[in-house]
Structure 1
Amino acid sequence: MDNRQALGSWLSGPRAAAEDAGVDFGYRGEQLGLPEEGPGSIARPGRRIGALTVDWALCLLIAYGLITDGYEQATGNWAIVILLVMSVLTVGTVGFTPGKRLFGLRVVSDKGGRLGIVRVVVRSVLVCLAIPALIWDRDGRGLHDRLAGAVQVRI
Structure 2
Amino acid sequence: MDNRQALGSWLSGPRAAAEEAGVDFGYRGQQLGLPEEGPGSIARPGRRLGALAVDWALCMLIAYGLITHGYSQATGNWALLILLVLSVLTVGTVGSTPGKRLFGLRVASVHGGRLGLLRVALRSLLVCLALPALIWDRDGRGLHDRFSGAVQVRI
Please report the TM-score for the alignment, with normalisation by the length of structure 2. 0.99
CA distance in 2, matches of 1:11, 1:83: 37
SS in 2 for 1:99: helix
Unpaired stretches in structure 1, ≥5 consecutive residues: none
- Whichever residue aligns with residue 7 of structure 1, its letter is L
Equivalent position of 2:110 in the other structure: 110
- Tell me which amino acid in the other structure corresponds to 2:141: R
Deviations 1:71-100 (CA, angstroms, capped at 9, x unpaired): 000000000000000000000000000000
Corresponding residue number in structure 2 for 1:21: 21
Residue 5 (structure 2) pairs with residue 5 (structure 1)? yes
Counterpart in the other structure of 2:132: 132
Q: CA deviation at 1:107?
A: 0.1
Count of paired positions: 155
Partner deviation per Cα, 1:112-136 (whole Å, 9 max, x = no partner): 1000000000000000000000000
| Separation in structure 2 between the aligned mates of residue 69 and residue 55 of structure 1, nearest angstrom | 19
TM-score by length of structure 1 reads 0.99
In the other structure, the counterpart of 2:86 is 86
Partner AA of 1:78 in structure 2: W
SS at match of 2:60: helix
In 2: Cα distance, 1:56 partner to 1:111 partner:
28
Give me the whole-angstrom Cα distance separating, in 1, the residues matched to 2:60 and 2:47: 20
2:98 and 2:69 map into 1 onto residues whose CA distance is: 25
Percent identical pairs in the alignment equals 86
Cα displacement (A) at 1:69: 2.5
1:49: which partner in 2? 49
d(CA) in 1 for partners of 2:51 and 2:70?
Answer: 25
CA distance in 2, matches of 1:111, 1:10: 37
Amino acid in the other structure paired with 1:105:
L
Amino acid at match of 2:59: C
The runs of 4+ residues in structure 1 deviating greater than 6 Å are none
